[in-house]
Amino acid sequence: MYTVYGIPNCDTVKKALTWLDTHQIPYGFHNYKKQGITAARLKNWSSQVGWETLLNKRGTTWRKLDSEVQASITSEKAAIKLLLENTSAIKRPLIEKGDQVIAIGFEEGTFAKVFKK
């Protein structure tokens, strides 16, 4: 079974969940806002996809950060610290199976390839 990490009111997460439902892909949902996230999980994801990929620099949370804070995010350690404090800055959705990142973000073509039956 897959685990989808995100926040329920995010449009991209909604699109991804709709796609998964339409294609009858079973998943569980992990809400960052209510359930949080651990540094160990972020570190694991970062080792797979890179901290730069995990950090959503296009979102409102990033844009609202002070420019000094933004400029200070230059390493995995700094990024993980920020993401623990601001879970909305994690790119979403992130889909995991076991401990493996399967997809990050939503693109229909990528989902079609990743979730081929």
Catalytically active residues, by annotation: 10
SS3 19: helix
Asked whether the CA dihedral 19, 20, 21, 25 is positive or negative, the reply is positive
d(CA 58, CA 60): 7
